[in-house]
Structure 1
Amino acid sequence: MARRDISFASFNLLNLQLPGRAVYTDSDGWDEEVYQRKINFTASMLARLDADVTGFQELWAPEALQQALDQAGMTDSHILLAPPDHTGNRIVCAGAVRRNMLVGDPEWITDFPPELVLRSTGDDPQQPAISVGLRGFSRPVLHMRIRPDPSTPVIEIFVCHFKSRRPTEVWRERDWYERDVHSPHANAIGYALSTIRRTAEAAALRVLATRIAKGTDAPVVIIGDMNDGKDSNTLNVLTEQPRYLTTLSRGGGDNALYAAQVLQEYRSVRDVYYTHIYQDMHDSLDHILVSEQFYDNSRDRLWRFDDMLVINDHLNWADHKTSGSNDHGIVLARFRWQPPTPAMPIV
């Protein structure tokens, strides 16, 4: 790609941990053979993607990801971004960025912004009051800044991993759970709690993005495993549901984020994109969202959408230990530097 073009990728690593180290409650983790298969798969995918910026989820050991980057031949071209104090005892979001693009130091955001208040007395007298006391992300959000070229603006990038759709295990609660009372309803309560947590995380990240994007020309990108589809409320909160304009229309939302999946669908005969399979249901949980600076029909466009690729064949076999593959599709979105010319029509 030309020097001002840019590509982004999202890559869930499926618990990339050093061999023999604990993964959640499994104290033994991966054995040497499975670990090497995971490194081989990860390295081959990274080399195939050749993305300028990759956002990772489910990283335990930064040393393992560095080994994959080295094996992919990216030692000199890319720098690994992982929390400097991380000891491999939990999963984190991480990044790999071309060395000449990184601006400043990355940060990992744990706490929700103070502007986020999830409390209301309701929209009408029939509604009871609601209050959500959650104050932090399930996985710290990585925030980095990159500049593809000295002639381009700095791009603000967030890498996230929201709460899964799996029901919260309420049977673990000791202060209120009563087996005889709550066991029949554990799934319903658990799904509700997971949804509330994921929605709150989306709202918190939306606040962080709005701080940067609203009323400015700053490019913003959100990369991550959001554990929800493009038409879900989670994505609606993040994107603010922008209007995708017709071919000759020009506009763009100052505070909007556009899904690369939708941009690709506008060029496709049908929607065949999926990044996850659960009980034979195909869905897209991993997304790349971009501000209007990357949207073809925006008056403030700087880059135009080139294409989006999803590597997902490995999802059709549940042999992740045997193959070393992960359980999510890997998403790549590419954008070409092409600000609009004055001659372009404005409708």
Structure 2
Amino acid sequence: MLEEILPEAVIDVPDIGPYQRFNRPPLVVRVNAYGQPITIITAHLKSKRAFFLRDKNGSLLEDMDDPNIRVRAKLRSLCMRAAEAASIRMSIIERLQHTHEPLILLGDMNDVTGSVTTQLMAETGEVNYDKSMRDIALFDAARIQSRYSWMRDVAYTHIYQGMPEVIDQLFVSEEFLPDSKFSLGQVERVDYFNDHLKWDYADRVIDHGIIRAKIKLNS
């Protein structure tokens, strides 16, 4: 479990100070799949919801209706999410660099796949400029699946202010790219279970969809 934000990723949150501990500590497990070790990291980053200051009893210290204060409160949330993403990224690099053991990152990233904080963890785009980055980059399972890739364009896992979006994601390391010389398997398909998000809010058991990936290891 990752409880402490790595020192290199600690930043000062406005009006709060250094953000040094995960709000929801990521779980890190190393499993053995048919003789192949795989590291799995689950993440649930700080939400985009504005973080207003409160006293020790939980009472608000700020005017939630003041638009300028709302901006500052959302900035706090962004800083927290960025620090968590950066710390997770550094942990991923430590586990991937100069190794050929696969890694899977999954969970509620609380932002879309192409967002700054999500890409801070994955750094997928850097591969376009430097192929050696494949060693430590992560790849969106929905984008590299070998079947039903069209599903990525109709998928969503959350509805925010009436708009569907994918904020629950699953990323894999280079070892699950079929065209990699270090390939140990591939993502065959990714499924999204989200029909319950169409129900009335009060009837929902959970307000997020579920993402599932089928990964086939090479024989």
Is the TM value for this pair above 0.5? yes
CA contact (8 A) 2:176 2:184 kept: yes
**Counterpart mapping for 1:233-248 below 5 A:** 233-242=116-125
Matched with 1:305 is: 187
**Counterpart mapping for 1:6-45 below 5 A:** none
Higher Cα Rg: structure 1 or 2? 1
Q: TM-score, normalised to structure 1's length?
A: 0.55
**Offset of 1:241 from its aligned partner?**
2.4
The runs of 5 or more residues in structure 2 that have no matched partner are none
**Offset of 1:194 from its aligned partner?**
0.7
Quote the RMSD (CA, aligned, Å).
2.7
Matched with 1:328 is: 208
Matched with 2:162 is: 280
CA contact (8 A) 1:252 1:292 kept: no
Within the candidate set 30, 51, 64, 1:145 is matched to: 30
CA contact (8 A) 2:11 2:79 kept: no
Aligned length: 208
1:109 aligns with 2:2: yes
Secondary structure of 1:288's aligned partner: strand
Secondary structure of 2:27's aligned partner: strand
CA distance in 2, matches of 1:198, 1:289: 18
CA distance in 1, matches of 2:92, 2:50: 28
Q: Which residue identity does 1:110 align to in structure 2?
A: E
Q: TM-score, normalised to structure 2's length?
A: 0.84
Within the candidate set 237, 260, 264, 2:141 is matched to: 260
CA distance in 2, matches of 1:261, 1:185: 38
Secondary structure of 2:119's aligned partner: helix
Secondary structure of 2:29's aligned partner: strand
Matched with 1:337 is: 217
**Offset of 1:109 from its aligned partner?**
1.9
**Offset of 1:237 from its aligned partner?**
0.2
CA contact (8 A) 1:242 1:253 kept: no
CA distance in 1, matches of 2:142, 2:48: 20
1:296 aligns with 2:189: no
CA contact (8 A) 1:261 1:273 kept: no
Q: 1:184 to 1:263 in 2, by over 3 A?
A: same
CA distance in 2, matches of 1:232, 1:184: 24
Q: 1:116 to 1:191 in 2, by over 3 A?
A: closer
Secondary structure of 2:153's aligned partner: coil
CA distance in 2, matches of 1:284, 1:334: 18
The structure whose residues are more often helix, as a share, is: 2
Matched with 1:213 is: 96
1:169 aligns with 2:52: yes
**Counterpart mapping for 1:53-202 below 5 A:** 108-116=1-9, 118=11, 133-150=18-35, 152=36, 154-170=37-53, 172=54, 179=63, 183-202=66-85
CA contact (8 A) 2:138 2:172 kept: yes
Q: Which residue identity does 1:305 align to in structure 2?
A: V
Secondary structure of 1:140's aligned partner: coil
**Offset of 1:297 from its aligned partner?**
2.2
Secondary structure of 1:293's aligned partner: helix
Secondary structure of 1:139's aligned partner: coil
**Offset of 1:300 from its aligned partner?**
1.0
Secondary structure of 2:124's aligned partner: coil
Q: 1:299 to 1:136 in 2, by over 3 A?
A: same
Secondary structure of 1:205's aligned partner: helix
